[in-house]
């Protein structure tokens, strides 16, 4: 090969170094049997890679949807935990949860008040009046939300819609 009037030989990479310095590249010729191998590999791997990418997107959508449902439950519980008056306001708790979960299709919100004493478990009727000293009454608000996640495609063996649930329990400020 002649470059700038000098005959070059391919000895220990000297030709490649000179061509790289000139902004040119040396590319060895392919063997005759490898001509369509790259196209065949791309044709075989593209469907597998696309299926993998769609699966990753679906998992990401499900995780995002789960976060939305959990945030709606938390918003309702935070509203109810402000005071004893807001803890008794079931409609306000549902509204707070629904406002936070606006992007959740079919969001259902259930709420309940739970009471107990500091030295025992919660769950008795409200208000808890039979607390012995030094224990005092505690009020909790429990908000449960559920929504229906719909996948983009129908996959064999996997349901097209999945119910996502979340429950928050917060102590009411007294």
Domain-embedded: residue 72: yes
- Asked if residue 23 is part of any domain, the answer here is no
Whether the full predicted model's pTM is greater than 0.85, yes or no, is no
Q: CA 56, CA 66: separation in Å to the nearest integer? A: 15
Residue 74 token pair: 């938390």
pLDDT given at position 10:
47
**6 within a domain of the structure (yes/no):** no
Give the H or E element holding residue 148: strand 137-150
CB 153 within 8 A of CB 161: no
How many structural domains is the chain composed of? Answer: 1
The range of the structural domain enclosing residue 96 comes to: 37-171
**Residue 165 contacts by C-beta under 8 Å, 6 or more apart in sequence?**
69, 144, 145, 146
- At 8 the pLDDT is 52
Residue 10 lies inside a defined structural domain of this protein: no
pLDDT per residue of the chain (174 residues) written in tens, 0 to 9: 555 555 555 455 677 777 777 877 766 666 666 668 888 889 999 999 999 999 999 999 999 999 999 999 999 999 999 998 999 999 999 999 999 988 888 899 999 998 888 877 777 677 767 777 788 888 999 999 999 999 988 888 888 899 999 999 999 987
d(CA 153, CA 161): 10
Helix (H) or strand (E) holding 133: none
Rg (CA), the chain: 33
Name the phi and psi angles at 97, rounded to 5.
Answer: -70, -40
Give the number of residues written for the chain: 174
Question: How far is 76 from 129, CA to CA, in rounded Å?
Answer: 26
DSSP reduced 3-state for 123 = coil
């Amino acid at each position: 090969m002649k470059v700038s009037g000098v005959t070059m030989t391919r000895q220990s990479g000297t030709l490649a170094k000179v061509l790289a310095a000139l902004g040119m590249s040396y590319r060895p010729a392919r063997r005759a049997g490898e001509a369509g191998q790259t196209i065949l590999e791309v044709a075989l791997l593209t469907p597998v890679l696309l299926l993998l990418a769609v699966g990753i997107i679906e998992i990401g959508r499900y995780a995002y949807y789960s976060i939305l449902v959990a945030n709606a439950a938390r918003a309702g519980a935070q509203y109810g935990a402000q005071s004893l008056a807001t803890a008794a306001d079931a409609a306000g708790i549902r509204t707070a949860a629904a406002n936070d979960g606006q992007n959740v299709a079919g969001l259902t919100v259930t709420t309940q008040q739970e009471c107990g004493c500091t030295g025992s478990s919660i769950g008795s009727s409200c208000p808890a009046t039979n607390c012995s000293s030094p224990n005092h009454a505690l009020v909790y608000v429990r908000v449960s939300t559920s929504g229906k996640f719909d996948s983009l495609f129908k996959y064999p063996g996997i349901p097209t819609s999945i119910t996502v649930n979340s429950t928050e329990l917060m102590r009411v400020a007294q």
